[in-house]
Amino acid sequence: MYLGIHNIDHPVIASRDLDVTRAQFERLGFTVPPRGSHIEWGTGNLCVMFPDDYVEVRGIVDPERFTMHLDEHLEQHGEGLMGVAFGTADVKASYAEAVEHGIKTGELRNLRRNFEHPEGWTQPAFELYAPDADDIEGLMHVVVIEHLTPELIRRPDFLEHANGCLGINEMRGAIDDVERVAGKMRRLLGDAAVTEGSEGIVLTVPSGQRIRLDKADTTGLASMTMRVADLDRTERLFISNDVAFVRDGETITVAPHDACGTTLHFTEAGPG
């Protein structure tokens, strides 16, 4: 595995109001755990958990503290996908390999966040590094992460979703220069992970999950494809909850205004 990266650990969605986004995602049939708040920053998050990955929705809970530039992102891009975290089982080895390959990166950091359970707070811990923006063009913001206390965030009751969702298959976005971005992605993810064509590039990590970056006039991430156990069950849930959607064969699509600025696709097919 190049840089020890094995999966899309979690896409990150920027939210202007975590309470509003919670209501949206619960209406979509997701189980949304209690809010988390980053100890080191003025940001908080909602983490929608699946067995092998999750979706992080990040918002500002204390604008007087450092927000990791989330305020600037919301001002420039609005709500929606703002980046991706790649998972590794050994972040120290991954970091050392990234430095060896000439990838510009800040320091390796240990972070914690408060997980605000009704019965009391816990503090999940993780270690990560963030490649420089110039090295991850097209992906907006990237971290490579190792979870040190996964049992605190992946409780069994968090993994059951009324919509039957099981995990993340794919992310999709746009780039304005295929050749340039493909070269950067090979440095980040390795040659085997990158398929380049005239209409864009496809990044495939060892888990089989993909990121498609289509050639366009703009750059950024826009949509996710989620895997569900039973698409008919998902459709029934959306009808019951009065969620607007379009079903095209084996895919259901929910528009960005119902999912915090992110187009969501649902399918029974697995990744890869």
Distance of CA 226 to the CA centre of its chain: 11
Residue 147, pLDDT score: 94
Q: Cα–Cα distances in Å, from 183 out to 8, 92, 99, 201, 215?
A: 20, 24, 17, 10, 15
Please, what's the b/e burial string for 215-243 (b: 16 or more CB within 10 A of its CB; e: otherwise)?
A: eeeebbbbbbbbbbeebeebbebbeeeeb
Residue 237, pLDDT score: 98
Contact 212, 170 (CB under 8 A): yes
Please, where are the H alpha helices in 162-230? Answer: 178-189
Residue 266, pLDDT score: 98
Q: For residue 188, give every residue at least 6 positions away whose Cβ sits within 8 Å of its Cβ, in sequence order, or none.
A: 3, 103, 131, 135, 136, 142
Amino acid at 240: S
Residue 271, pLDDT score: 85
Average pLDDT by consecutive 10-residue portion of the chain (272 residues)?
94 97 98 87 93 96 89 95 97 96 90 76 89 94 94 88 98 97 95 96 98 95 98 98 97 98 95 76
Dig out the tokens for 265 from the structure: 């696709």
Looking at the chain, the number of H-run helices and the number of E-run strands are 5, 17
- How far is it, in rounded angstroms, from Cα 132 to Cα 219? 16
Q: For residue 177, give every residue at least 6 positions away whose Cβ sits within 8 Å of its Cβ, in sequence order, or none.
A: none
Question: 265: burial class by Cβ within 10 Å (0-12, 13-18, 19+)?
Answer: middle
- Map out the domains of the chain with their CATH numbers: 2-158 (3.10.180.10), 165-267 (3.10.180.10)
